[in-house]
């Protein structure tokens, strides 16, 4: 992959990971990138590094622009290992004057690498550092999505280097938003938000408000993963403004697992009831849909129906795992119902209800249990449950 000049004397020098398929439990079918940026001015500045096993690509690309030894500052916007894994080797090669990070970033670097001897410069929130004809202003973005996170903003270029915000896991030869299929781009951006940032939505909302109040002009957003937004950075900012309030659409999900197909029969009937109300519905069988793809659908759904049979007084493992994953991300502003088949105890519906209540879903029904195999009358009850959920969605929009 060639070095790409994204602004005058500012270069993408990162790495493309075509083969990664799992990112701590998040499926990355399209791979990812680890974006690093090199700015040439009176001071030469490298923004973030790359995953440890890809340091050779980073060094090669830096060398195609300048001798790495000419780099004066390294900015660490985020300490997570996909961005700082190669940092010790790069510092050894570069011998920078400063390693610029947030206060929490310094603590995280010490905890990860145990190097008291690095030339740390702790950037306070809103601090600006002159590098010649340009300045870098640092915006603390704590818990988006680690305590150490910060943005780097270059006002002279109206360029926001946004760390793990506004990115996607998407490997490509293209670097910019206007070079790639928009449906693919926005799907991967939504998947990234759903599986990484949903939990931090209140902080995203505050950040967007703060940026608006500060009057920061942005004509390019360069994230640490995926595509650089040069044609329409407002598109991803608008999407985040919707996603951070968990704005639901005319859409409901029936998410289920099944043992001997009884709960599956119920799921299809619930979906029929939802559809009868003019609400778009998707059936998502956890046996064939990865949890991170299901969470992507949850992002803009207004309602969720969970179905699972009872196993050993509890849930089937796939549903139990999905609920743990979803509860960790805490989607809100949803309607919820639960249903399931059982043999002799039937705790699954109660457990699913409890999980949704903990996420503050608006529970519209106590749930529906069917012993062993549903008959026609049971399926009519499932349809009615779906209708009830569909009506709630329609009445809320």
- Tens of pLDDT, residue by residue over 87-136, are 999 999 999 999 999 999 999 999 999 999 999 999 998 899 999 999 99
What is the pLDDT averaged over residues 50-77?
96
What is the pLDDT averaged over residues 16-43?
94
> Lowest-confidence range among 77-91, 114-128, 158-172, 201-215?
201-215
pTM, two decimal places:
0.93
The catalytically annotated residue of 17, 57, 82, 140 is 82
- The residues facing 386 across adjacent strands are none
Known active-site residue 300: no
The catalytically annotated residue of 164, 168, 177, 257 is 164
Backbone angles phi and psi of 42, in degrees to 5: -55, -40
pLDDT band at 215 (very low <50, low <70, confident <90, very high): confident
What is the pLDDT averaged over residues 266-284?
97
110: its two tokens? 């010490």
Contact indicator for 205, 244 with CB cutoff of 8 Å: yes
pLDDT band at 338 (very low <50, low <70, confident <90, very high): very high
Known active-site residue 80: yes
CB atoms within 10 A of CB 353: 19
The catalytically annotated residue of 57, 78, 240, 264 is 78
- Write out the residue limits of the CATH 3.60.15.10 domain(s) in the chain: 4-243
Backbone angles phi and psi of 83, in degrees to 5: -120, -20
The catalytically annotated residue of 48, 80, 140, 148 is 80
The catalytically annotated residue of 41, 73, 145, 200 is 145
Instruction: Name the pairing type of β-strands 135-140 and 37-39.
Output: unpaired
d(CA 229, CA 231): 6
295: its two tokens? 């969470």
Contact indicator for 255, 334 with CB cutoff of 8 Å: no
Known active-site residue 225: yes
Sign, CA dihedral 177-181-183-189, equals: negative
Known active-site residue 82: yes
Annotation: CATH topology of 253-391: Rossmann fold (3.40.50)
Q: What is the pLDDT of residue 225?
A: 96
Residues present in the chain in total: 397
Q: What is the pLDDT of residue 226?
A: 95
The catalytically annotated residue of 153, 192, 240, 342 is 192
The catalytically annotated residue of 24, 92, 114, 117 is 24
The strands making up 150-154's β-sheet, listed across from edge to edge, are 128-130, 135-140, 150-154, 159-161, 220-222
For residue 54, the Cα-to-chain-centroid distance in whole angstroms is 22
Known active-site residue 156: no
- The residues facing 263 across adjacent strands are none
- The CATH number of 4-243 is 3.60.15.10
Task: Report the run of H or E that residue 294 belongs to, with start and end.
Answer: helix 291-299
| Residue 1, pLDDT above cutoff 80 | no
If you ran DSSP here, which 8-state letter would residue 176 be given? Answer: B
pLDDT digits (tens, 9 = 90+) for 144-163: 888 889 999 999 999 999 99
d(CA 270, CA 84): 47
Known active-site residue 73: no
Known active-site residue 164: yes
pLDDT over 70 percentage in the chain: 100
243: three-class secondary structure by DSSP: helix
Task: Report the run of H or E that residue 46 belongs to, with start and end.
Answer: strand 45-47
384: its two tokens? 């009615």
d(CA 256, CA 238): 32
Please give the mean pLDDT across all residues of the chain. 94
Long-range contacts of 210-216 (CB under 8 A, 24+ apart): 211/139, 216/153, 216/155, 216/160
If you ran DSSP here, which 8-state letter would residue 177 be given? Answer: G
Contact indicator for 274, 9 with CB cutoff of 8 Å: no
Known active-site residue 24: yes
- Write out the residue limits of the CATH 3.40.50.360 domain(s) in the chain: 253-391
What is the pLDDT averaged over residues 41-70?
96
b/e burial code for range 304-342 (CB count within 10 A of at least 16 → b): bbbbbbbbeeebbebbbebbebbeebebebbbbbbbbbb
pLDDT over 90 percentage in the chain: 89
């Amino acid at each position: 992959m060639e070095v790409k000049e994204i602004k005058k004397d500012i270069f993408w020098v990162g790495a493309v990971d075509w083969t990664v398929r799992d990112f701590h439990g998040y499926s990355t079918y399209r791979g990812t990138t680890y974006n690093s940026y090199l700015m040439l001015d009176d001071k030469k500045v490298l923004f973030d590094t790359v995953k440890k096993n890809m340091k050779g690509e980073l060094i090669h690309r830096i060398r195609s622009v300048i001798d790495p030894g000419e780099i004066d500052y390294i900015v660490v916007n985020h300490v997570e290992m996909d961005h700082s894994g190669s940092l010790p080797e790069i510092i050894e090669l570069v011998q920078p004057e400063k390693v610029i990070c947030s206060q929490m970033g310094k603590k995280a670097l010490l905890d990860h690498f145990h190097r008291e001897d690095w030339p740390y410069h702790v950037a306070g929130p809103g601090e600006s550092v002159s590098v010649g004809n340009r300045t870098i202003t640092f915006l603390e973005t704590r818990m988006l999505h680690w305590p150490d996170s910060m943005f780097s903003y270059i006002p002279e270029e109206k360029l926001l280097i946004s760390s793990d915000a506004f990115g996607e896991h998407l490997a490509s030869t293209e670097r910019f938003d206007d070079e790639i299929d928009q449906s693919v781009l926005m799907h991967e951006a939504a998947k990234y938000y759903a599986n990484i940032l949903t939990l931090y939505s209140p902080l995203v909302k505050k950040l967007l408000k703060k940026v608006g109040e500060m009057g920061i002009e942005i004509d390019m957003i360069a994230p640490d993963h995926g595509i650089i937004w040069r044609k329409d950075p407002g598109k991803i900012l608008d999407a985040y403004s919707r996603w951070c309030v968990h704005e639901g659409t005319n859409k409901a999900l029936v998410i289920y697992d099944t043992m001997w197909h009884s709960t599956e029969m119920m799921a299809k009937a619930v979906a029929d009831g939802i559809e009868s109300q003019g609400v778009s519905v998707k059936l998502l069988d956890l046996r064939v849909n990865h949890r991170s793809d299901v969470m992507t659908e949850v992002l803009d759904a207004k309602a969720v129906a969970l179905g699972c049979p009872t196993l050993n007084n509890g849930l089937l493992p796939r549903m139990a795992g999905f609920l743990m994953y979803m509860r960790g991300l805490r989607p809100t502003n949803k309607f919820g119902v639960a249903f399931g088949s059982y043999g002799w105890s039937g705790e699954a519906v109660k457990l699913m209800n409890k999980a949704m209540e903990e996420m503050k879903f608006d529970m519209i029904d106590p749930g529906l249990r069917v012993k062993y195999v549903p008959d026609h009358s049971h399926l009519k009850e499932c349809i009615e449950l779906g209708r009830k959920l569909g009506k709630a969605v329609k009445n809320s929009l």
